[in-house]
Structure 1
Amino acid sequence: MVKIGNLEIGEFPLLLAPMEDVSDPPFRAVCKENGADLMYTEFISSEGLIRDAAKSVEKLDIYDYERPIGIQIFGDKIDSMRQAAAIAEEANPEIIDINYGCPVKKVACKGAGAGILLDIPKMQEMTAEIVKAVNKPVTVKTRLGWDDSTIRIVEVAKRLQDVGIQALTIHGRTRKQMYKGEADWTKIAEVKNHPDIHIPIFGNGDIDSPEKALEYKEKYGIDGIMIGRAAIGYPWIFNEIKHFMATGEHLDKPTLTERVAVAKKHLEFSVEWKGELKGIFEMRRHYTNYFKGIPDFKPYRTRLVESASFEELKSILDEIPEVFQEAIIA
C-alpha cells in the first residue's frame, strides 16, 4: 500500500496531474468517477493567494467527493510560499504540493516552477520552510533539471526528502525540453531505486495507454503514475489502466453515448461552478478530445465551440449519438 504520510492511496495509485486551465473541479469530478486515485488542483500563485486575488482563491475550491486531493502552489519567494501554504491548508486538502516543474516562460524565468532547478539550495530552503509551516503532508512535483547539463535529480530528491517531503513526482523531461521529445524514465528509476530514497516516487510523462502504464510500472519500479494530457477529454484512461493491470485485458472503449454523457456532466458542473458564461467558455477546450476520432465531426465541433447557450449545448450533445451512431472512434 502506497502511503503519503498516513494517507493510503492504493497499491499502485494513478494520479491526475495539476494542469493549468484544465484540472478544475468539473474536470476532476469526471476523472474521479473514472478511477483517479489522487488529484491535484491547478497550480495556484502564492502571490495571488496572499493578495486574495479572486482567480487564485477560486482555485482553492475542493469538494468532498474529490478526496483525497492536493492543493498545488508555486512562487519564487520563500516567505510568500510559506504564507500561501498556510492559506491553502485552511481549505483542508489532504496534501500541500509544491510546483517545481512548470516550464512556462512567465513562471520559470522568474525563478518559480522549473526555474528553481537552477538554485537547488533555495529549493531545499523553500521546501523546508513550507514543511514547517503546515501540518498536512507536503509533496513536490518537479522535472529532471533545467537542461541536460543540470540534471541532478537524485541529489534533489535526497535533499527534499531530508527536509520532510512525503512524496515526489518527477516529470521525465528537462525544462528546456518543455513537452517535446520523449520523457526519460531511466532518470526517474534512478531516484526510485536509490538506496537512500524511501518516500514514494511517482513518474510522469508520455503515459497514454494501459500497455505503456504496465510496461513502465514493471520496467522502472515506480510507486505510481501521474497522468496529464492523456486524460484531457478521456477520463476513462484511469479505469482502463487499472483493469489492464489487474486482468491483462482491455476494457471496452466508451461508446459515443457514454462520451456524450460524460461531456454533458462536465459541462453541467462547469456551468454550476463558474456560471453560464465562463463555464461554457472554459468547456470549449475539451470538446475536441471528447469526440476525437469521429469522422466528419468538424461541423458539430464548430457548433459546440460557437454556442453560448447552456440549453442549446445540451441539445447539440444529445444529437450526437443519433447522427454519428455508426461512427468508429479511433
Structure 2
Amino acid sequence: MKIGELDLGEKPLLLAPMEDVTDPSFRVFCKEQGADMMYTEFVSAEALVRNVNRSLRKLELVEEERPVGIQIYGKDVDKMVVAAQMAAEAKPELIDLNFGCPVKKIAGKGSGSGLLLDIPKMLAITKAVVKAVDVPVTAKTRLGWDSDSLVIESVAEQLQDVGVQALCIHGRTREQMYNGEADWTLIGKVKANPRMKIPIIGNGDVDSPQRAKMFIDKYGVDALMIGRASIGKPWIFREIKHFLQTGVLLPPLTIKEQADLMDDIVKKSCAMIGERRGILHARRHLAIPFRSLPDIRPLRIQLLREKSVSGISNVLKEIGEKYASYPMSELE
C-alpha cells in the first residue's frame, strides 16, 4: 500500500492515534513489535496555534518510530492550516486529519466526528490543509454521526476529491462511541466503489489475528488500523502479521514473557519522557495483561502503585516467577 510516495508494503498494520497512549516510547515499542506505521496522539490545532507546551511536545518525533503521521484536530480552517504547517516542520511522513474522535469535549464542540454534522466545513479544512503542506494528507473518520446519517460513502468520495491520499474509516457512528460491534459493511462498500482510488484503511474491533484476516479477506481493505487492542498488548501487531503471512497462529506469550515486555515498555517510557511521566503513561498498559490471573489482585495493586522503575521491575519479576507454569490456555 502506498500513500503518496510512502510504500508501507502489503496489507500493513497501523497504530491508531490515541490520546495519552501513543506517546513516542509506545510508538517505538509497537514498531519493534511489527507495526508498519505509527501515529501521534491527536493534537489540538487551537493549542498548537497558542503554543501550548503540552501540545507542542506531541510534535516531537524520534527516528526509531518512523514512518509516523501527526494527527491534528480542530474546527477552524485557518487554525488547522497553521497547525498543519507547524506539524509539517517536524517532518512526519504524513499529516492526518481527525474527523472521527467521538468524545464530547471534542465532537460536541464541532471538531473530530462533530464535523460529520458539517461536511462542507470538513471539506474546506481538508482542501486548505492539502494546499498548505508538502507532505501527504490523510483523514480518519466514522460511518456518520448516528444511524440516521450514515454518510461515509459520499464523504469518502468528497475527501478524495479535495486531496486526501488515504482514508481510515472506523466502523461505528459517533453516537455509538466505542460500544457494540463495529460494522464493516459500509467500509467494504467504500473500498468496492470504483470511484475510490486512494487506500482505504479499516478500523474497529481489530483485536485478534483471526478477525484481522477476516476483515481483509471479506472487505478488501488496503490496511488495518489497531487502537484499543494494542493497549497492554502491543505484541498484537506481531501476532497478526505472522498470521497474515503464514496462516499459522503464534503460540501465546508466557506470563514471564509478557512481564518482561511490560518491563521494557516502562523503561523505554521513562528513558524518553522521565520517570514520573513515563510511569504514568505506562500504567494503562500495566493494568491490562495480568488482570485475569488468579489471586493477582495484591500484586496488581502493588504494580500500579509503584513510583519507581526499579520497584515496577521487581513486581513484574515476581509476577513472572509466580505464574511461570500457569497454563496460557486458561487466559483464552
Measured against the shorter chain, the TM-score band is over 0.9
2:262 counterpart of 1:270: no
Partner of 1:24: 23
Q: Is the 8 A contact 1:68 1:93 kept in 2?
A: yes
Instruction: Tell me the TM-score normalized by structure 2.
Output: 0.97
Partner of 2:150: 151
The 2-side partners of 1:175 and 1:149 are apart by: 11
2:293 counterpart of 1:305: no
Partner of 2:205: 206
The 2-side partners of 1:153 and 1:270 are apart by: 37
Provide, for residues 201-252 of structure 1, a one-character-per-residue CA deviation record: whole Å limited to 9, x for no partner: 0010011111111111111011011111111111111121121122221111
Provide, for residues 172-211 of structure 1, a one-character-per-residue CA deviation record: whole Å limited to 9, x for no partner: 0000000111111010011111011000000100111111
Q: Is the 8 A contact 1:44 1:59 kept in 2?
A: yes
Partner of 2:326: 327
Alignment of 1:59-78 (within 5 A): 59-78=58-77
Alignment of 1:231-310 (within 5 A): 231-310=230-309
Provide, for residues 95-128 of structure 1, a one-character-per-residue CA deviation record: whole Å limited to 9, x for no partner: 1000000000000011000000001011111000
Report how many residues are paired.
Answer: 329
- How far residue 155 of structure 1 moved from its aligned partner, in angstroms, is 1.0
The 1-side partners of 2:281 and 2:30 are apart by: 17
Partner of 1:168: 167
Q: Is the 8 A contact 2:239 2:250 kept in 1?
A: yes
RMSD of Structure 2 on Structure 1 (CA): 1.1
Q: Is the 8 A contact 1:270 1:279 kept in 2?
A: yes
- How far residue 291 of structure 1 moved from its aligned partner, in angstroms, is 2.2
Partner of 1:8: 7
- How far residue 69 of structure 1 moved from its aligned partner, in angstroms, is 0.5
Tell me, what secondary structure is at the counterpart of 2:75?
coil
Tell me, what secondary structure is at the counterpart of 2:17?
coil
Amino acid at match of 1:175: R
The 2-side partners of 1:269 and 1:322 are apart by: 22
2:171 counterpart of 1:186: no
The 2-side partners of 1:29 and 1:286 are apart by: 15
Alignment of 1:130-149 (within 5 A): 130-149=129-148
- How far residue 282 of structure 1 moved from its aligned partner, in angstroms, is 2.4
The 1-side partners of 2:294 and 2:87 are apart by: 45
The 2-side partners of 1:259 and 1:20 are apart by: 24
Instruction: Tell me the TM-score normalized by structure 1.
Output: 0.97
Deviates more, 1:260-269 or 1:103-112: 260-269
The 1-side partners of 2:105 and 2:287 are apart by: 27
The 2-side partners of 1:246 and 1:284 are apart by: 32
Q: Is the 8 A contact 1:214 1:245 kept in 2?
A: yes
The 2-side partners of 1:126 and 1:187 are apart by: 24
Q: Is the 8 A contact 2:231 2:284 kept in 1?
A: no
The 2-side partners of 1:126 and 1:55 are apart by: 24
Structure 1 unaligned segments of length 5 or more: list them: none
Tell me, what secondary structure is at the counterpart of 1:98?
strand
- How far residue 327 of structure 1 moved from its aligned partner, in angstroms, is 2.0
2:59 counterpart of 1:88: no
Amino acid at match of 1:82: V
Amino acid at match of 1:241: I
- How far residue 296 of structure 1 moved from its aligned partner, in angstroms, is 1.7
- How far residue 82 of structure 1 moved from its aligned partner, in angstroms, is 0.3
Q: Is the 8 A contact 2:254 2:324 kept in 1?
A: no
- How far residue 257 of structure 1 moved from its aligned partner, in angstroms, is 2.4
- How far residue 56 of structure 1 moved from its aligned partner, in angstroms, is 0.3
Alignment of 1:34-113 (within 5 A): 34-113=33-112
The 2-side partners of 1:179 and 1:96 are apart by: 24
Amino acid at match of 1:58: R
The 2-side partners of 1:59 and 1:91 are apart by: 10
Q: Is the 8 A contact 1:137 1:166 kept in 2?
A: yes
Deviates more, 1:169-178 or 1:26-35: 26-35
Amino acid at match of 1:6: E
Deviates more, 1:20-29 or 1:82-91: 20-29
* Overall identity of the aligned pairs, in %: 53
The 1-side partners of 2:11 and 2:105 are apart by: 34
